[in-house]
Amino acid sequence: MPDSFPPDSVGLAVPEVHHFAEPLELSCGRRLASYELVVETYGELNAARSNAVLICHALSGNHHAAGFHRVDDAKPGWWDDYIGPGKPIDTRYFYVVCLNNLGGCHGSTGPRTINPETGLRWGKHFPPLRVRDWVLSQARLADRLGIEQWAAVIGGSLGGMNAMRWALEYPARVRHCVVIASALKLTAQNIAFNEIARRAIRSDPDFRDGDFAEHGVVPRNGLALARMVGHVTYLSHALMGQRFGRELRSGSFARGLEVPVEFKVESYLHYQGDKFAESFDANTYLLITKMLDYFDLAREYGDDPVAAFRTARARFLVVSFTSDWRFAPQRSQEIVQALVAANRDVAYACIDSDMGHDAFLLPNARYEKLLRTYMARVAETC
Amino acid sequence: MLRVDLDIVRRWIAPGSRVLDLGCGDGELLRVLMDSRGVEGYGIEIDPEKITHCVARGVNVIEADVDQGLTDFPDKSFDTVLMANSMQVLRRPDHAIAEMLRVGEECIVTFPNFGNIRTRLFLAAWGRMPVTRQLPYQWYDTPNIHFCTVQDFEALCRERSIRVLHREFVAEQFPDRLLKGVWSNLFSATAIYHLAK
């Protein structure tokens, strides 16, 4: 058990709850009369309020991007490799903001929280959301924190969609937009994987048509299965081969023995699935995968991503990873081509990695250097 | 890129125009064009280190392989497509030039002239592949797989009906600097062509 934090860590991270009393008009036509967002910040906002960076989390992420909640935490926040003093998103220069988004299940208003109008848990009745609803709620948070313009809005995967939407919805409020392992919209294959995950959850008897909490149960099997499917798609063929191969965790193939065999990859997936089922909310999973499916950056711009990006004012960094087949490099190239055609400033790199879609969260020397170099330019404009 | 090459290229690029630089390296040329001509510039580069240098310079850079073609770019989407000192490393320079002329209204190509007298004398005298200050590689480790001479390039332009808007020749050494005007294929070290369809 460590008795202090590593020197390049942001150290103890203390989540703050921000209550918003002003109603939020949602894309679906409904409104949230009030809501709460759980937020972590690292570093200091400068006097000019020009060094704020928004980190947008992906499907299963939350506000805890960096640092530790307790000295004896086994693991730091989900993007700790990239956020901290001396790290690519350097908290000596930047004021970094990360929140649990609306509809999430880590403290912000979502299916797990109580609807103040009914006094009951939102559960399956939480309104459907679009990424733009997140952006609107984040803009309110920026107002609250005194941030007129973000130095950068950064996100991977769904977070990348969030970042792009920011650049279109509030062109004057985003100086740099960093879009990692993302897409203008999901492909059919991607939607298909999401629907398999959703069906896994819905068909768990403990799901109880979304009212599992009222029955005091959790659809653990469904959630675990959804996560297992997702996890396979986040890794690459090569990585699974390297990490697990056909190695056995238990049992034997020896003749004359009748011992059940378990492959390492099986136990790994069960472990990941079960761990996820312990912490994640089934209704949130359904809600956020739908947000992913419905996202289409250019829908309201005549289905023309070039027209969409013409409204942006930010400079863009777009990053993809060679072995990512869930958000393939081709998807990032579509973003880049639209940006070039729209005359927007953009740098694009395709990072060599075996880590699949998960690469955007993991250490990688080239990725780290690229992000560090880009963010150093961003810091110069603060 | 040499100062003198740069000055020639810069003259042919209209202020404020849209420029695509194939094999943009560390972004030096684009940075100069952005600062001095106010161009809207994009570079294409395949080398990770050089891409990072471009990012450090604030130059727009896209990771891609020019040998794969420019299929992602629409016809005539740039005013000028540049390729400085990269043609000889490509698998099919002729395909690249065709793509450049499709994507750009005009093109600028610079390449080392293999018909230069020093190269010729090296091969003639030593019977070995030329190794010069400008081309310092051995035959087995050179990235340059498609050398050509000024005459070769002129022939390609004629065959493909490519219009030569301007041509300039650069020589560093004396007396080449004087003689290149008389006999460019023998005395120029670098050829710079301004092309259109």
Got the DSSP string for A61-108?
A: --S--SSBSSTT-SS--TTTTTEETTSSEETTT-EEEEEEPTT-SSSS
pLDDT over threshold 50, residue A248: yes
Are A175 and A304 in a shared domain?
A: yes
The pLDDT, as a whole number, for residue B70 is 87
Mean of the per-residue pLDDT values of chain B: 92
Are A84 and A138 in a shared domain?
A: yes
Are A163 and A63 in a shared domain?
A: yes
- A61-72 pLDDT per residue, tens: 999 999 999 999
Helices marked H in B58-149:
93-103, 117-126
Stretch B162-189: mean pLDDT:
86
Are A257 and A127 in a shared domain?
A: no
The three-class DSSP label of residue A192 is helix
The pLDDT, as a whole number, for residue A2 is 54
Residue A9 lies in a domain: no
- A154-166 pLDDT per residue, tens: 999 999 999 999 9
Residue A84 lies in a domain: yes
Residue A331 lies in a domain: yes
Q: Where are the beta strands (DSSP E) in chain A?
A: 16-20, 24-25, 31-32, 35-42, 52-56, 83-84, 89-90, 95-100, 114-115, 120-121, 152-156, 176-180, 248-250, 262-263, 315-321, 346-351
Structure tokens belonging to residue B39: 């161009």
- Tell me whether residue A324 is one of the annotated catalytic residues: yes
Residue B139 lies in a domain: no
B7 and A CB contact within 8 Å:
no
Would you place residue A3 in the very low, low, confident or very high pLDDT band (cuts 50, 70, 90)?
low
Are A130 and A170 in a shared domain?
A: yes
Residue A254 lies in a domain: yes
Last residue of a domain, one of A288, A306, A331: A288
Dist. CA A267–CA A237, nearest whole Å: 17
Last residue of a domain, one of A288, A305, A324: A288
- B109-154 pLDDT per residue, tens: 999 998 888 888 888 999 998 888 888 899 999 998 898 999 999 9
Residue B33 lies in a domain: yes
Any idea which residue has 């942001």 for tokens?
Answer: A10
Mutate to test the interface with B, among A304, A306, A348, A367 (most CBs of B within 10 A): A348
Q: What is the ipTM score, two decimals?
A: 0.93
- B36-82 pLDDT per residue, tens: 999 999 999 999 999 999 999 999 999 999 988 888 899 999 999 99
A343 and B CB contact within 8 Å:
yes
Give the number of domains in chain B: 1
Which DSSP state fits A117?
T
Residue B34 lies in a domain: yes
Dist. CA A293–CA B98, nearest whole Å: 40
The pLDDT, as a whole number, for residue A1 is 45
Are A47 and A88 in a shared domain?
A: yes
Nearest-CA distance from B69 to chain A in Å? 14
Stretch A243-265: mean pLDDT:
91
Q: Where are the beta strands (DSSP E) in A203-278?
A: 248-250, 262-263
Are A111 and A179 in a shared domain?
A: yes
CATH of the domain at A158: 3.40.50.1820
Are A74 and A102 in a shared domain?
A: yes
B61 and A CB contact within 8 Å:
yes
pLDDT over threshold 50, residue A244: yes
Stretch A31-55: mean pLDDT:
97
Count of CB atoms situated within 10 Å of the CB of B14: 13
Last residue of a domain, one of A271, A288, A305: A288
Mean of the per-residue pLDDT values of chain A: 96
Any idea which residue has 């918003």 for tokens?
Answer: A20
Are A283 and A307 in a shared domain?
A: no
Residues in A touching B55 (Cβ below 8 Å): 317, 347, 349, 370, 373-374, 377
Domain range for A244:
192-288
Give the number of domains in chain A: 2
Domain range for B163:
3-114+146-196
Dist. CA B58–CA A176, nearest whole Å: 12
CB contact under 8 A, B63 and A374: no
CATH of the domain at A270: 1.10.1740.110
Residue A1 lies in a domain: no
Are A129 and A153 in a shared domain?
A: yes
